[in-house]
Structure 1
Amino acid sequence: MAKLEDLERALYEKSQEAELKSRMKSRVVFPKFRHRSGPYWQEEKRRTPAEKKSSSVRRLFPFLIGGLGLFFIIGAAAFVFFYIGSKGQEAQIVIPARDSVSAGEIITVPVSFTNTSRGRLTQVELAFLLPSGSLVSQNDGWRLAPQRIIQKIEDLEPGAEKTVEFTGRLFGREGEEKKVEAILLYQPETLRARFSARAVKIITIQGVPVALSWGLPQTVSRGQEMEMTLDYTSHASLPFDHLSVRVEYPPGFTFVSSDPVPSVGDMLWEVGTLDPARDGRIVVRGKITGDEGELKSFRAGIGVFDPGTKEWTPYTEAAGDVRIAVRPLLVEILAEGARDAIVKPGDELRVVVRYKNNTETIIRNVFVKVLLEGDIVDFQTLSIQKGGAFDAATRMIIWNPSTTEDIGSLEPGKEGELGFSIRTRARPAVRTADDKNVTVHIGARIEAATPPEEFQGADLTSQDDVWLKVQSKIIFAGRAVFRSSPIPGEGTLPPQVGKKTVYSVILEVRNFTNDLGDAEIIIPIPPNVKWVNSFSPPEARMFFDAATGRARWSIGEIKAGVGVRTPALAAAFQLALTPAEADVGKAVGLTGAIRFSATDRFTGEKREETISALTTELTQDSLTNFNDWRVVK
């Protein structure tokens, strides 16, 4: 298959290089001046007429040589200009195709070319380039177009004209411009070099015969679960292959489920081949939050998704809006000042319930009820402000007009706050593998016992819900030992000046409710303590970096329930200490503060736990005593 690179190779063949070298030899050489001993008229007087004529010829000779060289230079420049600089002048090529086409429509693209020279053009080839993603006809079907289509052409006689047609299908979004390119390669019969002529045609996608439309509710309540539909239909005369539908959600939307289930994440559905006159529907369910009156925009597109490059190419797109309803009575929950606070085991959770009358009328006898759910909350620590009471049977906190004057009569636009606090259990209950990814649900409801006359028959009830994620409880512990060690120690206790004693450090991790990722432990080691490179279990990924003086235990993933339902994650390693005279009577440090870090997979938080530096004071080695801990001579 011929390529454009043939042109460069042909232009620099050995025969032409040899010709160029021979021309370079025809250069002007000027004679050297001779020193004259006397005035030039004295020398002229001694010359004969014949000598004068010969001298004139010698003086003209360099100019003759220079003129001849200049002639060759001009000739070479003319050759370069007419055969190289103006390449393609022997042939003309055009693409008289349509200016626009519908996406997926069959289009025939003619390519016409003419030999405009006086000689025959040989070794003719036509290269045709379609845009990426185009299809070409093959065996009564369609296949993805190659990078370039090469077709051999018979020799073109002077003045000969020929047209070749290519049939394909172009795809893209409405208004997108697609470039079609044709390149004619040829070799003039009288030359050994190959040349090319090029033509480009821009074809605009004037429409996409695939429709996409949203089915969205006009308004939804904040926190309400909503259902929306996305319909797609083909009006094309041919199938569209490898299609997918992609959805972009607004901030505040949480995906719950869909029918069918997504193919990638919660935003992409593979459609495959969409035949003519066929349609489909995707149903998406989710919850949405936001400010009352806020407009939420949903966008969707149907096109092609490349799983290798993750590139998304939409053919057509659709958008739809949903407005967060403005309710007559507003109620809103804030936990720790936010709607997505992370609950920490053992901490106090402070909750504020806001309310507001959004009408132009006084609303009397308002009730506010808050449902509190979650095994991790300790109801015995519940503290309620502003006259609220707790109903243990329903697990509800209730504020009514009899105990809370502020909500007995709400003037137009009046707003206020109620609140409570409650502590969470320090250790969440983990009994089975299902006791993971714990949440606390808080649901608030506001209603009027006696609605105003203008609102008779209307529902003044308003509801707000938040689900707070609980971070995993992590217990990280470490101890230095000598006799109570899984790895036998070396040396003597108490440690002696100038003698080596090898201690063991044991680290343990317990994880309660959430999976952890990217877990590791960093152990700083003082300069006077040596890393022995002995650890247990042997498969533990422990490393020591002498440049930083730090050891690292690379753990990775830690499942929920490790150390609670199953044995704790533990490892031991050894350190060697050779005390100095200055250490006598002291407990010497074996490590710096040891840090554990990981990512909580449920909450997304970066978690860190630290234990204090370990020393030769082996308080957790039951087989040692006070006399074994300090350095002696």
Structure 2
Amino acid sequence: MEELKDKLYSRTLKEDAKDIRAPLSPGESGARALWEDSDGQTPQAQMRNRSGPFADKKASFSLAKKFFIASAGFFIVALGAAAYFFFGGANFISSRNIDLQIVAPSLIDGGSEAQLQFIVQNRNASELRLVDLVIEYPAGTRDPKDPTKEYPRERQSLGTIEPGRQLKRTASAVFYGQEGSVQKVRATLEYSVKGSTAIFTKESEASFTIGSSPVSVAIDAPSEVVSGAPFAIEMEVRSNAQSPTESVAIEVQYPAGFSLQNSSPRAGAGGLWRLGTLEPGASETIILRGILEGQDGDNKVFRFLAGQESDETSSRVRVPFLSMPVTLSVARPMVAGSISVDGQSGKTIAAQAGRKLQGFVSWRNNSAEAVQDIEVSLALKGPMLERGSIESTAGFFQSVDNSIIWTKTQDPSLARAEPGGGGSLQFSFATLPPGTSGTLYSNPTIDLSLSVRASRAPSGGEPQEITGAAQSQVVLASAVSLLVRASVSGGVAPPRAESATTYNIVWSIKNSSNTVGGTAVSAVLPPYVQFISGGEGITYDQSSRTVRWSVGDVKAGVGYTSAAREVSFQISMSPSQSQVGQAPQITGAAALTGTDRFAQVQVSATAEAPTTGAAVLPK
């Protein structure tokens, strides 16, 4: 080993390294492909013969697959059998084996009683129990026993229907609708079966056409109206009956935003047009004029009802022959206007009578092009308008029709307006005090009508005149006044210190033009005054020392065309030495409050506190 190491690490050894290896000789080797135990069986054969948890999994999977296929087949067969028995009706109840037929005329005249027949047949092998026939009629149907009552549905009990049995039932109703309209009647058969609490149904429906009604209504109305601009609707009511039709009435149901200005002829009591008896072929014409407010593109539906109504006080047609809807589309005006009075705007403006009112009219160009030659006109109308008070800084007052006109001559800004441009113009007027010239008006109003006109020239087109309008009504609140009178009714007169004096206090109310509701008067008693008694409606609250009169409604004209409303109460006063030489108050100042039922505003009045110096002494 040492010699080998020296040779290995020697730097001077010149011999070439030699590859010395031990010689190897080839030999035979082998291994069995299968191992066998002592009885000559291979492991695979032993696994196939085992039945425990280590049994052949392939065999187990094959058995599970066969079981699954068999189960699925049984389920499909059972489902098919159930469907066959249920829908086929073999000893079971199926809705397919129930016939429900509606026999109705193809044409039914509006306003006349019609009969419908319902045929029910049970083709099942079992009976139907607790059977009900539910009939649903179209909207507007009436009860033939009482045509004033609506008849939306009817329920008839059929009891039990045995297998193979057929039942026929009839029903009557009065149908209404526009001539030529198609309406439907729906029937539902509700039933239960033996051994079940569930309710099953069978449905059917039938259609029919409304023929001629005793009267017909033809409507002539624009399909589109400009918001705030006046327009008209014309109705022609014609008799189609072979004999006179009595108590014919027309009812109009207006959409939100519509204001009826006038009609020809005028509506009667309750807002109905009562045309009386129409002879065969006779006709009547009704014209409505009004204003419709709404947003651009809004659809507003008017509903016209024609029928019979003998009650002169009724506000609706309880027995309609037909109901006709008419839809109008609202468009935004190309040039718009608005009115404001005393800082208020809208269709109705409340104001006090007998004072000067300040107002403005505003206009705006809503079109896509510039407009020129704008003309604004405001007309004022009302019995309490003081004509000599109408003024405008830039407008011209036309006394012939009580109108103010603004043009580019008075106001250069009206010569031209770009898209979206506009302006405001000022005016003022006064109303007459109540009772002027001995005349008292009930529910007084001042009507303001604004008209805006302009000219526009679309690109490449002819000049066009565009218009806009607005209306407002100034409702004048009632003028209410309160008067207090005091008189000595007992004790020391004139009053002396530390001696009792009894006074009778009278409150008196006057009311000019409108009914004032919820009226009450109150006053607080001084600490040296004691309440004794009061008339009807007088109450006294000891804790607050307040005397209150609950008046209720005060009619228009009280104190003017009829006696004033009055009440009295009694108090006792014992002045102090510190009040010698003075005229002490007998009560505090009285205050009246109430609500003007016409103007829908609060009204009030006050009266100064009565003193001992102003009290009437006994003679």
Contact 2:595 2:602 in 1 (8 A): yes
| Mapped pair 1:363 → 2:372 | yes
Number of the residue aligned with 1:298: 301
Number of the residue aligned with 2:59: none
Counterpart residue type for residue 615 of structure 2: D
Superposition deviation, residue 336 in structure 1: 3.0
Counterpart residue type for residue 168 of structure 1: S
Superposition deviation, residue 285 in structure 1: 1.4
| Mapped pair 1:515 → 2:484 | no
The Cα offsets for residues 99-139 of structure 1, whole Å up to 9 and x where unpaired, read as 99999752223466899999xxxxx999877679775799x
Distance 1:107 1:436, change over 3 A: same
| Mapped pair 1:482 → 2:487 | yes
Counterpart residue type for residue 612 of structure 2: L
Number of the residue aligned with 2:495: 494
Summarize the alignment of residues 497-576 of structure 1 with structure 2, pairs less than 5 Å apart: 497=498, 499-524=499-524, 529-535=529-535, 540-544=536-540, 550-576=546-572
Match of residue 252, structure 1, among 250, 253, 257: 257
Number of the residue aligned with 1:73: none
**How many angstroms apart in 1 are the aligned matches of 2:308 and 2:233?**
23
**How many angstroms apart in 1 are the aligned matches of 2:586 and 2:102?**
81
Match of residue 341, structure 1, among 329, 336, 349: 349
Number of the residue aligned with 2:328: 321
**How many angstroms apart in 2 are the aligned matches of 1:467 and 1:578?**
54
Distance 1:158 1:440, change over 3 A: closer
**How many angstroms apart in 2 are the aligned matches of 1:344 and 1:437?**
12
SS in 2 for 1:574: strand
Match of residue 615, structure 2, among 612, 618, 621: 621
Match of residue 412, structure 2, among 405, 414, 427: 405
**How many angstroms apart in 1 are the aligned matches of 2:294 and 2:329?**
12
| Mapped pair 1:596 → 2:592 | yes
Unaligned runs of 5+ in 1: 1-88, 119-123, 185-195, 625-633
**How many angstroms apart in 1 are the aligned matches of 2:457 and 2:123?**
88
**How many angstroms apart in 2 are the aligned matches of 1:608 and 1:182?**
65
**How many angstroms apart in 2 are the aligned matches of 1:235 and 1:256?**
31
Distance 1:225 1:405, change over 3 A: closer
**How many angstroms apart in 2 are the aligned matches of 1:137 and 1:403?**
70
**How many angstroms apart in 2 are the aligned matches of 1:250 and 1:142?**
24
Contact 2:238 2:281 in 1 (8 A): yes
**How many angstroms apart in 2 are the aligned matches of 1:462 and 1:108?**
58
The Cα offsets for residues 450-480 of structure 1, whole Å up to 9 and x where unpaired, read as 999988785456554433221122212224x
Counterpart residue type for residue 618 of structure 1: T
Superposition deviation, residue 585 in structure 1: 7.5
Distance 1:181 1:262, change over 3 A: farther
**How many angstroms apart in 2 are the aligned matches of 1:312 and 1:157?**
39
Superposition deviation, residue 320 in structure 1: 0.5
Superposition deviation, residue 288 in structure 1: 0.8
Contact 1:430 1:512 in 2 (8 A): no
Contact 1:247 1:298 in 2 (8 A): no
SS in 1 for 2:507: strand
Contact 2:246 2:308 in 1 (8 A): no
SS in 1 for 2:351: coil
Number of the residue aligned with 2:472: 466
Number of the residue aligned with 2:221: 216
**How many angstroms apart in 2 are the aligned matches of 1:473 and 1:346?**
9
Contact 2:339 2:362 in 1 (8 A): yes
Superposition deviation, residue 297 in structure 1: 0.6
Distance 1:214 1:201, change over 3 A: farther
SS in 1 for 2:288: strand
Superposition deviation, residue 281 in structure 1: 7.7
Distance 1:263 1:407, change over 3 A: closer
Match of residue 445, structure 2, among 439, 448, 456: 439
Contact 1:389 1:399 in 2 (8 A): yes
The 10-residue stretch of structure 1 (468-477 or 523-532) with the greater mean CA deviation from structure 2: 523-532
Contact 2:349 2:472 in 1 (8 A): no
Distance 1:170 1:520, change over 3 A: same
SS in 2 for 1:342: strand
Number of the residue aligned with 2:169: 165
Superposition deviation, residue 569 in structure 1: 2.5
Superposition deviation, residue 521 in structure 1: 2.9
Distance 1:106 1:491, change over 3 A: farther
| Mapped pair 1:414 → 2:408 | no
**How many angstroms apart in 1 are the aligned matches of 2:252 and 2:547?**
46
Contact 1:345 1:428 in 2 (8 A): no
**How many angstroms apart in 1 are the aligned matches of 2:184 and 2:525?**
63
SS in 2 for 1:466: strand
The 10-residue stretch of structure 1 (309-318 or 464-473) with the greater mean CA deviation from structure 2: 309-318
**How many angstroms apart in 1 are the aligned matches of 2:578 and 2:399?**
65
**How many angstroms apart in 1 are the aligned matches of 2:273 and 2:189?**
34
> If the length of structure 2 is used for normalisation, what is the TM-score?
0.59
**How many angstroms apart in 2 are the aligned matches of 1:158 and 1:447?**
79
Superposition deviation, residue 321 in structure 1: 0.9
Counterpart residue type for residue 414 of structure 1: G
CA RMSD, aligned part only? 6.0
Superposition deviation, residue 223 in structure 1: 5.1
Contact 1:430 1:561 in 2 (8 A): no
Superposition deviation, residue 419 in structure 1: 0.8
**How many angstroms apart in 2 are the aligned matches of 1:361 and 1:503?**
75
Contact 2:455 2:463 in 1 (8 A): no
Contact 2:524 2:587 in 1 (8 A): yes
Superposition deviation, residue 394 in structure 1: 5.6
**How many angstroms apart in 2 are the aligned matches of 1:218 and 1:270?**
27
Number of the residue aligned with 1:287: 290
Superposition deviation, residue 335 in structure 1: 2.2
How many pairs were matched up? Answer: 495
Q: Percent identity?
A: 19
Number of the residue aligned with 1:75: none
Contact 1:183 1:199 in 2 (8 A): yes
**How many angstroms apart in 2 are the aligned matches of 1:201 and 1:172?**
27
Q: Whose radius of gyration is greater, 1 or 2?
A: 2
Unaligned runs of 5+ in 2: 1-92
| Mapped pair 1:226 → 2:231 | yes
Match of residue 117, structure 2, among 108, 111, 121: 108
Counterpart residue type for residue 558 of structure 1: V
SS in 1 for 2:413: helix
Counterpart residue type for residue 288 of structure 1: I
**How many angstroms apart in 1 are the aligned matches of 2:454 and 2:124?**
91
**How many angstroms apart in 1 are the aligned matches of 2:568 and 2:456?**
69
Distance 1:506 1:462, change over 3 A: same
**How many angstroms apart in 1 are the aligned matches of 2:398 and 2:600?**
34
SS in 1 for 2:428: strand
**How many angstroms apart in 1 are the aligned matches of 2:144 and 2:454?**
69
Distance 1:270 1:127, change over 3 A: farther
